[in-house]
Amino acid sequence: MATTPSSPALLPVSGEKGAVTVGTRSLSSRRAVTILGKVLFALLALLIVIWSVGPFLWMMITSIKPDRDLATLPPILPTEITFNHYGALFETRPFYRYIINSTIVSVATTLVCLLIGSLAGYAFGRLRFPGRLPLLLAVLVVSMFPQISIVAPIYRMFQQRGLLNTYEALIIPYNAFALPLAIWILTSFFRSIPVELEDASRVDGTTRLGALFRVILPLSLPGLFTTAILVFIAAWNEFLFALTFTTSIDHQTIPVGIALLPAMYHVPWGNIAAASTLVTLPLVVLVLILQRWIVQGIVAGALKG
């Protein structure tokens, strides 16, 4: 080759060839770096998933282990799958009672809160009146009240009115605490709806209240939906008020039921794991499906001030 530099035209070609080799070498090392980066990134993402979901999975695994597998570790995985712990929940204690109570309280809280919150949200978002901003801020401050500071007076108030150990004893305070968040989210949603749409319906002779129910609310379905999920989950998870204002299984909710399963010694871990899985799984599924709405709600509630 070197003996016959046949044509000068070949030189640039070989030169090009050399450039290409250099190019591929740097390209392949760069590719190695990006692949390494991708692997590290994937590991990081995996770590996040394990940290988030792992503990819950561990509880699910525990709930289907037979008793002999529970007292020691290993085995990590059950040697045999059993649903005895789930059965026990309904034999020894009517656990379904807690589920019914929680459902009634959470659904009622959500509905009342959406109704009252929509009315207030419409006023804050659409109407002009003196004291609008101070009142909105007052609502915000109430959401920061520590529950422990007001639990005793509410207890005595309910005691005097014979409301202790009723569903109302939970629905009323849950509403007071969920309303600020609902009002804030709905106010910002209502405000985002074009005024022209409402005006058009008003020209057609609809009253303001009619416009709220026929124009604003249907257009705010995403906002209502988001609010509903957040309020429902908050009510479903609340513990302090439920522990204080209800005293028997007739009205106690799931968190109280789970907290009051015996605690320190001879803990029926299998049953606790089964109960926890049972009441949390629907919530986890709900979150996985409704992720987008929930994210929107949390962000709107916290940052859309």
| Binding residues for other proteins restricted to 218-257, rule: CB under 8 A | 233, 236-237, 239-240, 243-244, 254-256
What span, in angstroms and rounded, lies between the C-alpha atoms of 151 and 171? Answer: 14
Can the peptide bond before residue 255 be classed as cis, meaning omega within 30 degrees of 0? Answer: no
| Binding residues for other proteins restricted to 163-202, rule: CB under 8 A | 172-173, 175-177, 179-180, 183
Piece of 20-28, 83-91, 152-160, 197-205 that binds other proteins (CB under 8 A): 152-160
Cβ atoms of 294 and 226 within 8 Å: the answer is: yes
Nearer to other proteins, 140 or 219 (CB): 140
Q: Which amino acid is present at 91?
A: E
| Binding residues for other proteins restricted to 1-30, rule: CB under 8 A | none
Out of 64, 139, 185, 224, name the contact with other proteins by CB under 8 A.
139
- 45 lies in the binding site for other proteins (CB under 8 A): yes
Nearer to other proteins, 107 or 119 (CB): 119
Which sign does the torsion angle of CA 273, 274, 279, 281 carry? positive
Binding mask 100-129 for other proteins (x = CB under 8 A): ----------------xx-xx-xxx--xxx
Read off the DSSP letter of residue 253: -
**Alpha helices of 64-144 — where are they, by DSSP H?**
67-70, 84-92, 95-126, 132-142
Residue 192: phi and psi, rounded to 5, are -80, -5
CB of 248 to other proteins, least distance (A): 16
